[in-house]
């Protein structure tokens, strides 16, 4: 809306026509590239195998252990069976991997193939090119994840013989949305690095380094930083709580933490809090009762909006950098 209304500002920068021009052409072309690419096929096979394996294991486990559960299909996602982790555990690192694979050479690949100036010679704005590439990545990711979602729900219905309830479907769809935006962050990060670095390998390495940092090291770092920022001097309970709160806040800077919290709240309806819970808050509570979906969503709303906003902001950063780049060089 703002884009269209301020015609005068656009004229000031000498732009003619809409920045959306050619967007969908870019999206279509990019998606075609992604979906026919060998790289994507490998990743798809990997994730489908993972899904089948974990869901089969989960089905076996649920059949043996669970008698009655109103959210039994949701437990397909979260039930682990040794030696396999739960499906969501795999998603936690497979989704960033797919996202990075989709985007690490999106911009600098065009440069190295010397196709960037050719593309921009068409009546397509840079805005449309970048947004189109990003949207194509998101859509591809969404397509893959939606396929897996359908696969899991179908396998669950066959394996467990239970039709999904409306709430289960709604919860798993919210979870799907969160997963897509979790992938969106890494997509934006990879795209950012592909704008910054001219070598695709460097961009890929930087993306994977960032991913590793947040997946493995950030949790350790938060544990080290929290006592420095919020030291426990006298051992009061308040100090200990404050330190734990600080550590939690620090770990929440990592998209992995945000995604894990969203996943727990959405897929386990009995979870009432993803943060610190004092015993006094549970006094008189009827434990083990599921929260309504709206309350579960509200519980992780900051995390969810955080994921979405981070995706958009990272894209905005990449956009600004891309717009300032010299193309003809």
Interface residue list for another protein (CB under 8 A): 2-3, 6, 9-10, 13-16, 19, 125-127, 272-273, 277-278, 280-286, 289, 291-292, 294-295, 298-299, 301-302, 304-306, 308-309, 312-313, 315-316, 319-320, 323-324
Q: Which is nearer to another protein, 17 or 163 (CB)?
A: 17
Provide the H-helix boundaries in 66-199.
75-78, 87-103, 108-112, 116-121, 126-160, 166-196
Nearer to another protein, 125 or 174 (CB): 125
Name, in order, each residue with C-beta under 8 angstroms of 216's C-beta and a sequence gap of 6 or more.
none
Q: Which of 200, 276, 280, 195 is nearest to 240 (CA)?
A: 276
Cα gap 74→294, rounded to integer Å: 16
Angle formed by the axes of helices 301-323 and 166-196, nearest 10°: 30
| Cα distance between residue 286 and residue 40, in whole Å | 47
Nearer to another protein, 130 or 145 (CB): 130
Find the shortest distance in angstroms from Cβ 83 to another protein. Answer: 34
* Shortest Cβ 82–another protein spacing (Å): 31
Closest CA to 137 of 321, 326, 318: 318
Q: Give buried/exposed letters for 82-91 (b at 16+ CB in 10 A, else e).
A: eebebbbbbb
Q: 173 or 277: whose CB is closer to another protein? A: 277
Backbone angles phi, psi at 85, to 5 degrees: -80, 170
CB of 122 to another protein, least distance (A): 12
Instruction: Write down the least CB distance from residue 212 to another protein, Å.
Output: 26
Residue whose CB is less far from another protein, 151 or 312: 312
Of the pair 38, 280, the CB lying nearest another protein is at 280
**Residue 42 zone, left/alpha/beta (φ > 0; ψ -120 to 50; rest):** alpha
Minimum separation from the CB atom of position 279 to another protein (A): 9
Of the pair 94, 262, the CB lying nearest another protein is at 262
Say if CB 267 and CB 177 are below 8 A apart.
no
- Of 31 and 312, which CB lies nearer to another protein in the complex structure? 312
The CB-of-311 to another protein minimum distance in angstroms stands at 8
Strand partners, 81: 84
Q: How far is the CB of 47 from another protein (least distance, A)?
A: 28
Cis peptide before 187 (omega within 30 of 0): no
Q: Distance (Å, rounded) from C-alpha 167 to C-alpha 237?
A: 39
Question: Shortest approach of another protein to residue 304 CB, angstroms?
Answer: 7
């Amino acid at each position: 809306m703002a884009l269209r209304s301020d015609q005068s500002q656009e004229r000031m920068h000498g732009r003619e026509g809409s920045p959306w021009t050619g967007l969908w052409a870019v999206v279509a072309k990019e998606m075609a590239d992604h979906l026919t690419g060998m790289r994507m096929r490998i990743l798809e096979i990997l994730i489908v195998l993972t899904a089948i394996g974990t869901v089969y294991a989960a089905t076996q486990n649920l059949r043996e252990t669970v008698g009655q559960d109103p959210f039994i299909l949701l437990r397909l996602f979260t039930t682990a069976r040794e030696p396999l982790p739960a499906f969501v555990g795999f998603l936690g690192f497979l989704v960033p991997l797919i996202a990075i694979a989709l985007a690490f050479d999106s911009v600098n690949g065009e440069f190295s193939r010397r196709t960037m100036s050719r593309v921009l010679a068409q009546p397509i704005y840079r805005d449309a090119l970048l947004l189109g590439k990003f949207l194509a990545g998101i859509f591809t990711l969404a397509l893959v994840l939606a396929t897996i979602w359908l696969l899991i729900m179908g396998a669950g219905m066959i394996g467990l013989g239970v039709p999904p309830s409306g709430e289960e479907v709604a919860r798993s769809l919210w979870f799907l949305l969160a997963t897509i935006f979790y992938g969106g962050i890494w997509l934006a990060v990879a795209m950012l690095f592909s704008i910054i670095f001219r070598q695709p390998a460097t961009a890929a390495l930087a993306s994977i380094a960032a991913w590793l940092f947040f997946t493995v090291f950030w949790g350790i770092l938060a544990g080290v930083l929290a006592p420095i920022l919020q030291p426990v001097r006298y051992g009061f309970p308040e100090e200990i709580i404050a330190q734990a709160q600080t550590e939690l806040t620090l770990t929440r800077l990592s998209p992995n933490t945000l995604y894990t919290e969203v996943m727990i709240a959405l897929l386990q309806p009995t979870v009432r809090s993803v943060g610190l819970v004092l015993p006094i808050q549970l006094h008189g509570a009827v434990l083990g009762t599921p929260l309504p979906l709206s309350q579960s969503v509200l519980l992780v709303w900051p995390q969810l909006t955080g994921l979405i906003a981070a995706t958009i902001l990272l894209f905005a950063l990449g956009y600004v950098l891309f717009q300032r780049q010299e193309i003809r060089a």
